[in-house]
Structures are given as structure tokens and as C-alpha cells.
Structure 1
Amino acid sequence: MMRLAVRTLRFRKGGFIATFIAVVFGTAIVLACGGLMETGIRSNVPPTRLAEAPLVVTAKQSHLRPGAEDATPLVEQVLIPSSTVAKLRVVDGVQEIIGDVTFPAPVLAGTSVSSTGEGHSWSSARLAPYRLTSGRPPASPGEVVLDTTTARTANARTGTRVTLLLAGAPKTFVVTGIADGPAGHTFFSSAEAANLSGHPGAYSTLGITVAPGKDLAAVKKTVEAAAPVTVRMGDDRGLAEHPEAATGREAVISIAGSFGGIATMTMIFVVASTLALSAQHREREFALLRSIGTTPGQVRRMILGESLLVSIPAVLVGLIPGWFLGRYLFDQLASHGVAPAALEFHQGLIPFAAGAGAAVLAAVGAALIAARKSAKIKPVQALMEAGLQRKWFSWVRLFFGLIALGGGLALVIVTGAVMSGPLAAATAGPAVLCWALGIALLGPFWTKLTLALIRWPLYAVSRVNGRLAIVNVTTRSVAMSAAVMPLMLAVGISTANLYMQTTQVHASEQAFTKDLKADAVLVSTAGAGLAPSLLSEVRAVPGVANASAYVTSTGAIDEPRNAPFDEEGSLLQGVGPQNSSGTAPVRLTSGSLENLTGSTVALPDHVATKIDRGLGSSIRMTLGDGASVDLRVIATFAAERGYESIVLPADLLAAHTTDRLAPQILVSYAPGANPAPALAKLTATHPGVQLAHRDALIDTFNEDLKTQAWVNYLLVGLLIGYTGVSVVNTLVSATIRRRREFALQRLTGSTRAQILRMLSTEAALITFAGILLGTCAAMATLIPFSTTVSDSPVPHGSVWIYLFITATAALLTFASTLLPATTTLRHHPADSISRPD
């Protein structure tokens, strides 16, 4: 049968080309996702500044709340106290411990920041190692050593002066030396580095050298047992220099896993529908084979052989664009801050094997499904059914279709009844996939139902060719469902995912801006925070009604233990004490923020009710750097469900962030005043400070959501493109295989124009059915999702999104139907009838 399969490929190139294209694109997408997955799992960040330390120690960046099963990540830098260093010095196998402190120290050129940089103690320079090329180490306050790249950028030499932005204020130093080593680092004397870091006696990281003859892995385990720290060795040491890579790996793995699974499911569906349509068009051939004594097993082996002969070369071809696509996706994720830029992209043999294996298995599985009915049918029935419409119903298909629809219904109920705010997307996203899969499995039923709804109105206004098209499509509704279902999948998934993102971003902005009173915001552009003295200068500007430092972080409520936040913790907002006309983005329901100083806190109403804490009561929290604080409740405020935050004094919260400074100042204007020009002049005298509209604050607040939205746009775009390929494949293949039908119509008197008008009506019916079913699948998810996140059943977003999606679907359908039909109709009818399918 393999010989027959090889010969078949020579005469049925159209259908096999469609399968070939589907497998190529599917392999490329799955391979790209496999590369992202391997990159996230490996998390390779080669060490540079700490490359000479065999072991690198950092504090644990997580906190396990009392009674919780999962730890809460700590988003700020957790320091290692000197007491821990003393414990580690006596560990067996530890030869020397070199402590390092890290703090922002960008270099200034005039009043602008010429480069970003970090400050360190010169005693830690040998961890790279840095080697002096000129000058001497810093020995006293006011002296620094620059790396060669920073010195070249700042046009600095030994003996010249350089201005650094420290603690939000410029400070001048004498360059005592230039060192060769990794770029972007400035070194101070040990005493001055400790003072500038803001936490004398504590360290950001520790470099440990191991005594000769000691096993490195054994010493690592001993150090971890001696103190609650994280010890890294090998390539993992780079994670100590780039802690964002440790959290970014989870985002990369999550994106690769979720999208890879969706892409694999879509590939199976696309390849299966393409092969199924090809099998339907070859019913006459299978009927003849069965009538001359071919066994069901031989038919199955022939179809399976054809599938392998097409899929294996397609997989080999798909590996090439898959490698480039994986690198492109990673670069895009890194450029938008989703994946850490320091992370190394890896796409080894495992992703290649996974992509190839998934594609081949999808093709083989689809071939077996397509061959099942053709192989089992009896010879006499085969000859009878070759000219009749194939039955679509089976109990297996019905069972899985109902399971998928039931899963979609269950997820929708959970979305509306349990979820709130941004968490609603966790169940709404899979819900639309369940709806789409359920509709696809029962595609012929939904297609027949949709065509029945529009048949008679369209029949009443159609002329002869239109009525012929309606009768044709209605009679061949089972075959037409193969063209409708990919269209439904593209419209449903794209509409649901795009409007979910626009609705969620809008709901988040509304929740934040509803009570935002600030007219402008001063922002630190150098990543070093704002000088504390700047706040009083802003308040003194004529026309400024209120000004407050603004800090954000995350934390966790430890006591009481029933706080309504997940393991990621809660958003913390830090503002200064103020009256009801202040700039704090909250709407008070009890208490006042005038006493928001020291160890105090303001809670959302829902949180206060959930933990049974009112004015004057106390709670215990763990802040972003792991510090535990007892706080007294002095106010409560209204907040949208799912978007609750906790308000603390700005000074308290800033002291427990990585930079120890407020990065923003909120400013509200007096009625009728416009202090913007005066504020612009003020910021011009402070390097690294920029005056921005309050929209900048909204963008910062929604940064994570907008990044997530961009990722979904990118990945959904790829998925839409792939389903679009399926639509084109299916319709082109179906149209070309109808050449005999077109030839018979022309021999009986129909003109080319009449046939094209008939096909145009068919394309309109297919487009309408696909768009209607896709819209139903999307709205079944969007309505409960929108109601949950924004209290409105209408999704937020431009209507042009939907119009673009539907217009693209219509364009693909008409082009894939009319273009191949036009080419086919150029041949003489007699030639078309004599040509094989």
C-alpha cells in the first residue's frame, strides 16, 4: 500500500500541499514555543561581575505567610545582615567571604543622565575581577574608580571629576582609577559605599571562595543549612546579578506552556480538518478500492502512509522557520520587558524533537481519524455513498463535543461567580477554547443550524445563481462545516482574546483613575529615586495645591490570616499625610489620612471586612524587602473588587524598597492655576527628574497589564495567522476539487460569470456562518468576563477591532474561493472532467 500511496501523491498534489503547509506552520510554532520553554527552564544568565566567586549567596526572595502553602515573592531586594555573614564564616569549607553592596549610581553629563550604572565597594571588585589599568583604588570619601566603558562614555580620566546621581541628588567625585571589567559599575571605598547604600552593616550579595580540596556542591549544601540564604553556583550565579531573571523565567515558561498547548491543539485541529476534507473528496476512490477487495487495514495503511510521506518532509522544512520564529519571539519578549534581557535564548534538541514529534503525531492521528470511516465502510455501501453526503454523527464525537461545551459553561460560571478583577482572565481564557472546541467537534450540527436560520431570507432575495448556491451549500452542509470551523476558530479566539485585554486594561484604568486627584507627576528617569528635599520645593511652587511622595511595592498580610489576596501578595501604595483634598488616589469611607505617619495603614473596605479590622485595630504585614511591621488602621476606603491596594506612609514604604527613595511625586493644582511652567523650570534644575501628565502615572500603574496585553496580542496574532492558513487551505482545496462540478455546469449552459456569482453567494454563506459561530463562542466568554471585571456586560474596546477581524475573515474566504475558481474555469470543461481529483 505504501507504493500506492507514493503514486497517489503524484496525482493529488492539491490536497497534500494543503496538509504540507499546515504541518510546516504548526511545526514552526510548536518549535518556537519549545525554545521559549527551554530558555525559561534553563534560565542561563552567565555571571560577569561575580564570575570569580565559586559560590554566590543572596537572601531568600520569598516569604511564607503563616498558614499558607505557597510562598509570596518579595519584589524588593532583601539584604543579608552582618550576623548572617558571621555564621557563614565558620562553615567548614568556607575560605573567604567577600561582601558586596549595590545601589544606583548613574553618571551625569551636565543636567542629563548620560548612562545608568551601579555603585559598589572596591573590596568586591576582585569578584569580577576588575583590574586597574591606571590610577589607584578609592581610599577616602569623594573618590571613585570607573570601569573603562563608563569612563569612555563620561569622557573621564584619572584625576578628573565626574558627577554621579546618588540618593536622587548630584554629587561630584574625583576619579582615582580606571578598571578593566564589566561595564556600568562604579566603585567607592568600603566605608563610603556602605553609607551611600543606605544600609550599613548589610550586604546585597556575598562571594564565597572555597578552601582547597573541598567539594563545591558539599560546601553549598552546608552554607544553605547554616543560614536562611540562597546559594548559587555555575551559571546560576548570574541570577544574583540579575534577580529579575529569576522572576522573568516564570513568565517565559508560563507563556511558552500556555501558548504551546493552544498551538498544539490548534495544529491537531487544522491538520485533522485538512486531511478529513481530503478524505471526503476521495470517497469515490476509496469506494472503488473497497469494491475490488481492498481490506480496511490496507486502506488505513495507505492513508497513513500518505500522511507520513507528506508530514515528515513538512516537519523538516518547518524546523527552519521555527528556529527563527523562536528567536524572534524571545527578542520581542525581552524588548518589551517580559523576558529579562540578560537571559540567554536556548533552543536545543529537545524543542526540535518536541516540535517534530507533535507535528508528526498530529498528522498521524488526523490520518487515522480521517481513515476510520473510509476503512470500515462495506464495499456495496461504499459505492452507494460515494455520491451521497457522508454522515457526520458519532457517539465519540458527541461525547467529547458535549464535554468541551460543558467545560466552557463551567468555566464561565466560575468566572462570573468566583473570580474578580484581573483574576477573571485565568478562567475566561480557557473558556473560549472550550467553547470553540465544542463547536468544532459538533461542527456539522452548528453549520446546518446556522444555514437553516439564514437560508430562507437569503433565498427570497436571491436570483437563480444565488438560489443554486443556497441549495448547494445546504445539501453539502457537512462538507461545508470543514470550511466554516477554521473560520469560527479564528474569529472566536481572536475576538475573545483581544477584547478581554482591552476590557481588562480599561477596567484597571477606571479603578485607578476614579479617585485619582493628581494633575501631574514628577518622575525619576534615572532609576535612582527622587531626593527627599524635592518634595518641599514642589510644595513651594505657586499654584500647587497639594504634593505627596508616591511609592508602590507589594507585600503580604500575615495577621490576621484570612486576607483576601493570593500568593502574589497585595499592591502597596505609599503616600504622605494629607487631608481629604490631597493627592492620594483613594476615596475614604472612614477615618482620615492626616495621621498617615509612622506605622499606620489604610485598608480597602472589602479587606477590612474580610479580616475584621476597623479603625484603631492592628495588622501585621511583611513588606517587599521581607521586613515585618505592625501597623495601626487609621482609615478605610472604597475600592473596586479585584483591584484593592493597601495604603501606607510613603516614608515607611520607601525605606523598604530597593532604592529606599520615592520614585514619583503626585501634584494637584489649585483651582484656576497652572503651575506647569514653574514645575518644568524646577525639574530642569534637578538631573534625572521629569514633569509628566498624570497619564504617566496611569501607564505605570497598568504597566504589567499592558505588557501582558501586548504578549497576548503577539501570540494571538500568530494563532490567527495559523488558523487563517487553515481557512485558505480548506477553501482552496475544496474549490479546486469541484472542477468536475463546474465543468458539468458549463456544459449544461452556465457561464463563468454565473458560476462565480454562485461561488460568491456560497462564500458569503460560509463567511456569515463562521463569523456568527465565532462571535457566539467569543460572546459566551466575553459577557460574563466583562460583567465580572467592569460591572458591564458590554466588552470595552473599539468596534474597529471586530470589524477588522470580520473583514479579514471575509477577505480570506472570498479570495480562497474565487481566485482558485477563476483559475479552474480557464480550462476547457472537457479537460476538467477528464482530470483526476
Structure 2
Amino acid sequence: MLSLVLQGIRTRWVTFAGSFVALALGVGIVATTGMALAATFDAPHRGPERFAAAPVLVRGEDRLRVDTPIGVRTQKLTDPRPVPAELAAALARLGRTAQDRTFPVSAGNTVLDGGGHSNAGNGGGGHRGGGERPEIVGHPWPVAAATPYRLTSGRAPAAAGEVVVTAGDDSGVRTGDRITVTTPAGSGSRTVVGTVRPAGFESAVFFTAAEAARISPGIDAVVVHADPAAVRAVVGEDSGLAVLTGDDRRRADPDPDRDAEALVSVNALLGTAAGITAFVSVSVVASTFSYGVAQRRREFGLLRTAGATPGQVRRLVYAEAVLVGVLASAAGCRLGLLGAPRLASWMAGEGIAPRWFAIGDQSWPLHTAFWTGLAVALAGAVTAAHRAGRTGPVEALRESAVDSASMPLSRVLLGAAVLLTGAVVVAVALVQDPGGVLRRKTYLTQPMLLIVGLALFAPVLVRPVTRFLTWLPARLPGATGVLARENASAGLRRTAAVAAPVLVTVALAASLMGTTATHDPARAAEGRAPGTPPIRGPAVGAKPSHAPRVPHPAPGAGASWAPPPTPRGPGPAEARAQVTADFVVPADGEHASLSPRFVERARHIPGAAISASRSTTVTVLEEGTALVRSEARAVDPADAAAVSALPVVAGRFADLDDGGIVVNEEWLTTTIGERVGVWLGDGRKVTLRVVAVLSTGTGNNGVYLTPHNAAGAGIDRIDVGVRGGTDRSAVAEALYAAGRATGTDVLTTAQWVRAGHPPTGGSTRLGLLMILAIALVYTGIALANTQVMATADRVRDLAVLRLAGATKAQVLRVVGVEALAVVAVGAVLGAAVAALNLLGVRTALGLLGVGSGVVVPWAVIGLVVVASAALAVVFAVLPARLALRTRPVDLAGTRA
């Protein structure tokens, strides 16, 4: 058997080489993405950063821990409690202490150096990434002794108008400079009396202890130089405060989970890329292997004629598949070892992944890729081997001339089941949760079922599609169109094998990019209350509550920087419908608060309806085992009613009081008047009464509380409406003047919605393009590989054309036109898959009340089709041209 296998490989080396290349490349891609994915499972271990020199640290507990029947469940708290002043005084009696306060700072147009530390790619959590600078925060100078900060020039601040700043060698900030600093207490000019080396995790401005206490009265943490046991005894067990020593001090670092959070989005991207590339490679490899086996039907017929049994034929095919599969899978694993570090380096360089992202020493992705490749090789040979084994000798010889378009019942049933499953999944989602259709995991994976379904029906679809597409060329003068049509229609397996990679790539490209392009207009569409003209104010910025700033220049100040957004709450269409205010004033930064001076001035603007609100969270224990955290907004119900129109489906929003809560339909407790136990953002547990229920919509339409239950969160957003009979221009001018005086941005509602829900872009779009690029490269190589296999199998047909009187140019023209026709078949089938997928997306948007037409990414589809056509033509014509160098009489005697 082994000698027969080796003889067959040597005789038909082109077919086996094509299968080898396709499988090796597929395994290489799976191994590369798998190793990169494995590297996202563990973030690098880091010790304490900010309080590395603090022996003991006391701060508010940042984790909620709840005992459940299945163990302790934890959830992160967004608003840790401040350290009481009485406790800080008691701790001072144990030894030397330093009180820490952290508050947002804007340094005008001065660029402070945070060390260029890149923490993340496109993850959430407020961390910086992709080369962006850390946010600027303020601290009291006495706490610097417990941190990595040390003076590199100047001295410590001694008066209210003096500061120490982080400054690198090229920052441009020097001792003696005057800079404009904006804090929650207001703006003012300060003198830089000293500089410190950047620590990497933040850009810091240090004030005197008294000035920091005036700006931020709450004590965030206390550094204690005393025995930890004595500190714990003073703090107590049920105080809601944590005593941190050793590695636990990392919990007090800015965004201590940033490394793990930075990998969340990278993990999701690579998981999607691995899934899609595995799907593409498996689909194309299976098609290539199946075609390679189908090419040898005449050989199998001869073996049957010579007396080989069906079992012997099948074992021969399986032995060849195992041999090629083992060698190709091993080569693919080697490609993965070479490609994975390059992929990780590219992702880090483009800001998709953190700069420290690197491939680890995990070996399981290689094992997975190897055995997947071997399984695909065997799977690609199963159907053809079974068919070859049960076909009679004479029938096999006769069948080798023209492929039959008939399908076995098993394939019909499987294809129908796959297509029906895809349709049912979408239909159920549209009925139960239209928003689920718009989720990335859904629209990335949904096309796969349709692709598989159409691929299974290829024998009955390829011929009619080919004849339809070649109807016009076949009627043009000359025989080129007719021959191309008949050749493509007769060689169904060859046509399907060449069209398969085109189908997969066109379907994925159109579905992925088309879905995001269709979704973006719905997200980014502007909107304002009917009959409300836009207000054009001086130097209006454009940022949401967590977006990059385009600020109002305060006197003597320039632009400042804030972290990129992490969108929360309802989608843009819902935001436009729910927020009826004329202006929205968001805080500058994820954890920042608005200036009290601005809030006070805004409240006294004549004719303005003001609703000041706070961001917080509530956590509920569902079904006794799951801690579920929800975003919440603390508002005064009377003020909120004047500037909003919330989608209440039960109860009355006006009934909200300190003992009440407004929930949405996703909560388990939605009965008006029923009481529910929740933990607030600082960990306190309270029991509140459900007073109203909101619809869910495309966003989460979070929870509403009163400021009494806001866990000490500061005001981070003001919605401003203009009362009836009031001059809007006068209100706008007063609002803009308050913003300029306090360094606060004032946005129209349309600007706030638009800036808060930008179209898909940046690393997200780059990630999708990376996935498509991998698929396109693999498709291109597989397409070229399959065309070489197909053309090498047709040398006798080419010789017959030459003997019939066709010139070399005419033969090559027929081969090229046929290649174009086959690519067109794949493109049409792929477009059909994309059309069905985009139809589901459009229907989901319609059910959600969002008007948006389907946006077809013609440029991406055109690029894929043109590239596929070019490759198909080149790698069909070149082998044919080489074959035509031999005399037609010699080629005519060649048997495939």
C-alpha cells in the first residue's frame, strides 16, 4: 500500500503539491492566530506601581464580595468609600502618615509627560493605549514619598500657587514656567517650582497638602508607616475600608486591571480572527482536497478494473490523505511559529494590542492546528473516497468525462439543515432580541452557516449560475464564450473548487464591512427636537462625557486632553429621543466631575431648566448566584423630567425618591412596588422599591436613582433646556460664558450624541481589515493553487483545441475567460450570502425604529473580486501557456 501511495504521489505530484500547499497554509494561519490568541489569556504580572514605597496603605474597599451557595462572588466597585477624617487622625497616632487625594487636572496647552507608557490597544476601562498619553491627575506633594516620583529639578511646592509636574527630557516644561491649571475647584495660573521623572502610569501635578485638600476634600487613601496588624485593628473589619500591603498595594494603582482589560478586546479580535480564518481555511482546504481526489476518478476506475476492491480504493485515498496531511500540518505549524511573533509585533505597532504584547511559550495552539489540519485532510477525502469506492469500473470511466449535477440525499438534507438553521437563528433573534442581530459576534458568525449551506448545494447551483453569467459572452462572435461556458458547466467540481475561495471571501468582506457600514449611519445620524434650530456658539467643543476634548479656551489656557470614550447606555437614536435638552455639558474624563463653579453659575442662568446628574453603578444578586452590575444615573426626578423623555413602560418616573429605583426590562424584578436589594457603587447594601420600568432598546437604558444613593459620586453631566418664552440665544451665551470661565465644554445635544457614538473606526476597523486581509491572502494563494491543479489536469483538452485548429492565443483566451466566469460564479454566490446577512441587519434596525438604508461596501467587494479575477486568470493562463509548448499530438495522448 505504501509503495502504491508513493507512486501515486510521484505520478500526480501537481495535485498533491496543490493539496499540500493549501493545507500547510491553512494550518499555518490557524497556528499563527491560535498562538496569538493564547498570548492574550495571561496578562504580565506587575508589582505595585504608584504606592511601591508605601509600607501600609488604607483605602476604600474596591471589591464587593458576596457569599452565595456556590461560593464567594466578587464585583468591582466604581465608587470606593473615602477614608473618614477621624480614622485618618487615629492612624496618624500609630506613626507617620500621608494623605492621598486624586482629582482630574487640565494643564492648558502644556504637554505633561506620563512616560509614554502604553497600557492597551483598544480596551476599555479608561486606560490609555496605542501610544496615547496617560490622563493628568492631581495629588498632594507629601504622598510623593510613597510613590516612584522623585525631584529631578527645583523644590517641593510650599504655597498655593506652586506645583510640581511630571516632565521628561523633551517635554518642554521647566522649573519657573507659568502654566494654566484647571481643577474641579476652578482655573488659575500656577508656577512650576519642581519637576519629577515620569512614572509611566499617569501624568501628575503635585500641589501642597492644604491646596489639594481644598480642591478635593475627600481622603482617597492614607499611607501609614506602622505595623500592619496595628493598622488593621484601628480600621476594623466592617468599615468598608481595605488595608493593603505587599502585592495587594497594586489595587490602589491607577486602573490596576488595565493589563487584563487591555487584552479583552485583543482576545475578542483574535478569537474572531482565529474562528474566521479557521473557517476559511477548512472550507478551502476541504474543497481543494475533495477536488484533488475527484481528479483521479479515472485512475480509481482503472484500479477497480484491475481488481481492486472498494475498501482498497478507500484505504488508498485515506493513506494518501494521512501522508499529505501529516507533512503539510507539520509544515503549517512551522509557518505558525514564524508568523505568530510577526503578527503580534504588527498588532502592537498599530495600537491594536498593547506594546508589551508578545507570543508566549504555549504549545497547545500548535497541537490544535496540527490535528485540525490532519482532520481536514481526512474529511476532504472522505466523501470522494466513499464515492470512488462504491462506483463500478465502467461507470467510473464513463463518469470522468462530465461531472454530474446530481446530489446524494444525505448532502441535500445536510445542506437544507444548515441553511434552515441559519434562517431560524436570524428569525428567532429578530423576534426575541433584534439588538442581538447587531452584535459583533452575531454578524461575524452568521454568514458562515449560509456559506456552508450554499457550498453544500454547489453541484446544483454552479451550473445554472454559470450559464446565466455566460449567456451574453456565449452569444458574442467567436467560439470563446461558448467554449468557456461549456467547459465551466461540464467541470462542475473544478468550477466549484475555484469558486469556493471567492465565495467565502466575498461573503465575509461584504457581510463584515457592509454590516458596520449599515450600522454606522444609524449610530451617527444627527437629531434634535422638532422645530429646534441649531445654536452656533463661540468655540463650541464636541465631546461626550468620555470623549477626547475640543475645549472652550479659557483665558490663558489652550487645549487639554481627555481619555477616549467607552460608550455606555442607550444607542444614539434612543439618546436623541430620550434627551430633550438643548445642551449637554459632560465632565472631562471618565471619572471626572464638573466644576462646582460651573454648576453654580448654570443653575442661576435665567430661563434655563437644569438637570444635574451623577454616574454610578448598582449591583444585584440574581437567582442567588450571579452578581450583575448595571450602570446607573443619579438624578432629581423633577429636574430630569424637564429635559428628558425616558421610555417608561410601567410605573411613574416622577415617583422616584430616596427609597426608590427605576430599572429596565432586563431586570428580574420588574413589578412596581416590589422591593429589591442592591449594592451601591461604594459597596453599601440597601433595599429599594421599584417605582418605574424602562424599555431595554438597543442600549441598556440603565438604572436611575436619586443623588442620595449615588455613593458620593460627583456631578458629571448637566442637561440644559430652554424654558418656553425664553430667548435661546441668551441662555446659550450665558452657558458658553460659564464654560469659558471654568474651562468646561458646552455641547448641543446633537453634538453630544454624534461625538458619543462615532462610526466604527480606528482599531475596530483595522481589526476587521486584518481579518479580511488574512482571508484574502489565503484565498488568493488557494485560488492560484487550485487553478494550477485544474489547468494541469486539462492538458489533453487544450491539445484537442489546438488540433481542432485553435491558435495558442485563442486557447489561452478561452482559459482566461473561463477563469473569469468561474470567479464571477463565486462572487455571485458570495454576494447572495452577504445580501441575506445584510437583510437581517436592516430588518433588525427597522424593528428597533432606526431608519437606515443598507450600505454596500462596493470598494471592498470590488477589490476582492478584482484581485481574485487577476489571480485566477494569471494562474490559469501561465500553466496553460507552459503546457502549449509541447506539440498538440503529444499532449492529445496524455491521460489525466
Tell me: CA distance 1:721–1:138, structure 2 relative to 1, closer, same or farther (3 Å).
same
* Shift of residue 53, structure 1, vs aligned partner: 6.2
* Shift of residue 347, structure 1, vs aligned partner: 0.6
Is the partner of 2:742 in helix, strand or coil? coil
Corresponding residue to 1:259 among 257, 273, 276: 273
Aligned partner of 1:645 in structure 2 is: 702
**Contact in 1 for aligned 2:698/2:848 (Cα 8 Å):** no
Corresponding residue to 2:373 among 360, 363, 373: 363
Is the partner of 1:807 in helix, strand or coil? helix
* Shift of residue 31, structure 1, vs aligned partner: 1.9
* Shift of residue 258, structure 1, vs aligned partner: 3.8
Corresponding residue to 2:483 among 468, 477, 486: 468
Aligned partner of 2:829 in structure 1 is: 773
Q: Is the aligned partner of 1:436 residue 2:451?
A: yes
Tell me: CA distance 1:740–1:7, structure 2 relative to 1, closer, same or farther (3 Å).
same
Q: How does 1:193-342 map to 2 (within 5 A)?
A: 193=212, 196-200=215-219, 202-203=220-221, 237=250, 240-242=253-255, 243-284=257-298, 296=313, 297=315, 300-332=318-350, 334=352, 341=354
Unaligned runs of 5+ in 2: 115-134, 524-570
Aligned partner of 2:580 in structure 1 is: 517
Alpha-carbon distance in structure 2 between the residues aligned to 1:380 and 1:629 = 81
Is the partner of 2:107 in helix, strand or coil? strand
AA matched with 1:613: I
Q: Is the aligned partner of 1:118 residue 2:137?
A: yes
AA matched with 1:185: A
* Shift of residue 427, structure 1, vs aligned partner: 4.7
Is the partner of 1:347 in helix, strand or coil? coil
Q: Which moved more, 1:272-281 or 1:308-317?
A: 308-317
Aligned partner of 2:671 in structure 1 is: 612
Aligned partner of 2:204 in structure 1 is: 185
Alpha-carbon distance in structure 2 between the residues aligned to 1:627 and 1:194 = 25
Aligned partner of 2:126 in structure 1 is: none
* Shift of residue 79, structure 1, vs aligned partner: 4.1
Q: How does 1:560-571 map to 2 (within 5 A)?
A: 569-571=629-631
Alpha-carbon distance in structure 1 between the residues aligned to 2:221 and 2:180 = 25
Alpha-carbon distance in structure 1 between the residues aligned to 2:290 and 2:223 = 60
Tell me: CA distance 1:437–1:245, structure 2 relative to 1, closer, same or farther (3 Å).
same
Q: How does 1:665-814 map to 2 (within 5 A)?
A: 666=720, 673=729, 682-687=738-743, 689-699=744-754, 701-702=756-757, 710=765, 713-718=768-773, 720-722=775-777, 724-725=779-780, 726-731=782-787, 733-735=789-791, 737-751=793-807, 754-755=810-811, 758-759=814-815, 762-763=818-819, 765-791=821-847, 796=852, 799-801=855-857, 803-814=858-869
Alpha-carbon distance in structure 2 between the residues aligned to 1:327 and 1:512 = 39
Tell me: CA distance 1:685–1:206, structure 2 relative to 1, closer, same or farther (3 Å).
same
Alpha-carbon distance in structure 2 between the residues aligned to 1:577 and 1:780 = 45
**Contact in 2 for aligned 1:23/1:267 (Cα 8 Å):** no
**Contact in 2 for aligned 1:465/1:758 (Cα 8 Å):** yes
**Contact in 1 for aligned 2:79/2:682 (Cα 8 Å):** yes
* Shift of residue 814, structure 1, vs aligned partner: 2.8
Alpha-carbon distance in structure 2 between the residues aligned to 1:145 and 1:539 = 34
AA matched with 1:572: A
Alpha-carbon distance in structure 1 between the residues aligned to 2:849 and 2:800 = 51
Alpha-carbon distance in structure 1 between the residues aligned to 2:298 and 2:881 = 25
Is the partner of 2:288 in helix, strand or coil? helix
* Shift of residue 413, structure 1, vs aligned partner: 3.9
Aligned partner of 1:170 in structure 2 is: 187
Is the partner of 2:745 in helix, strand or coil? strand
**Contact in 2 for aligned 1:587/1:638 (Cα 8 Å):** yes
* Shift of residue 676, structure 1, vs aligned partner: 6.2
Alpha-carbon distance in structure 2 between the residues aligned to 1:332 and 1:224 = 47
Alpha-carbon distance in structure 2 between the residues aligned to 1:174 and 1:19 = 70
AA matched with 1:253: N
Aligned partner of 2:558 in structure 1 is: none
**Contact in 2 for aligned 1:744/1:829 (Cα 8 Å):** no
Tell me: CA distance 1:53–1:487, structure 2 relative to 1, closer, same or farther (3 Å).
farther
Tell me: CA distance 1:797–1:529, structure 2 relative to 1, closer, same or farther (3 Å).
farther
Q: Is the aligned partner of 1:491 residue 2:506?
A: yes
Aligned partner of 1:42 in structure 2 is: 43
Alpha-carbon distance in structure 1 between the residues aligned to 2:412 and 2:249 = 50
Is the partner of 1:42 in helix, strand or coil? coil
Aligned partner of 1:411 in structure 2 is: 425
Q: After superposition, what is the alpha-carbon deviation per residue over 1:86-131, rounded to whole angstroms, capped at 9, x for unaligned?
A: 9x99xxxxx9998874523436257998984333455654444444
* Shift of residue 176, structure 1, vs aligned partner: 6.6
**Contact in 2 for aligned 1:551/1:663 (Cα 8 Å):** yes
**Contact in 2 for aligned 1:111/1:685 (Cα 8 Å):** no
AA matched with 1:584: S
Alpha-carbon distance in structure 2 between the residues aligned to 1:239 and 1:24 = 47
Corresponding residue to 2:716 among 650, 662, 668: 662
* Shift of residue 534, structure 1, vs aligned partner: 1.2
**Contact in 1 for aligned 2:422/2:446 (Cα 8 Å):** yes
AA matched with 2:360: G
Alpha-carbon distance in structure 2 between the residues aligned to 1:224 and 1:25 = 57
**Contact in 1 for aligned 2:676/2:689 (Cα 8 Å):** yes
* Shift of residue 733, structure 1, vs aligned partner: 4.2
Tell me: CA distance 1:167–1:26, structure 2 relative to 1, closer, same or farther (3 Å).
farther
Greater share of residues in helix: 1
Percent identity over paired residues? 20
Aligned partner of 1:24 in structure 2 is: 25
Tell me: CA distance 1:45–1:628, structure 2 relative to 1, closer, same or farther (3 Å).
same
Tell me: CA distance 1:40–1:77, structure 2 relative to 1, closer, same or farther (3 Å).
farther
Tell me: CA distance 1:301–1:189, structure 2 relative to 1, closer, same or farther (3 Å).
same
Structure 2-normalised TM-score? 0.72
* Shift of residue 480, structure 1, vs aligned partner: 1.7
Tell me: CA distance 1:607–1:475, structure 2 relative to 1, closer, same or farther (3 Å).
closer
Q: Is the aligned partner of 1:103 residue 2:167?
A: no
* Shift of residue 634, structure 1, vs aligned partner: 7.2
Q: After superposition, what is the alpha-carbon deviation per residue over 1:227-261, rounded to whole angstroms, capped at 9, x for unaligned?
A: 89697966994894323444444433333334323
**Contact in 1 for aligned 2:150/2:197 (Cα 8 Å):** yes
Q: After superposition, what is the alpha-carbon deviation per residue over 1:533-558, rounded to whole angstroms, capped at 9, x for unaligned?
A: 2134356679x854544554543467
Unaligned runs of 5+ in 1: 90-94, 212-218
Is the partner of 1:349 in helix, strand or coil? coil
Corresponding residue to 1:421 among 411, 424, 435: 435
AA matched with 2:701: E
Tell me: CA distance 1:653–1:225, structure 2 relative to 1, closer, same or farther (3 Å).
closer
* Shift of residue 601, structure 1, vs aligned partner: 5.5
RMSD over aligned CA atoms reads: 5.4
Alpha-carbon distance in structure 2 between the residues aligned to 1:730 and 1:76 = 56
Is the partner of 1:170 in helix, strand or coil? strand
Is the partner of 2:40 in helix, strand or coil? helix
Tell me: CA distance 1:323–1:475, structure 2 relative to 1, closer, same or farther (3 Å).
same
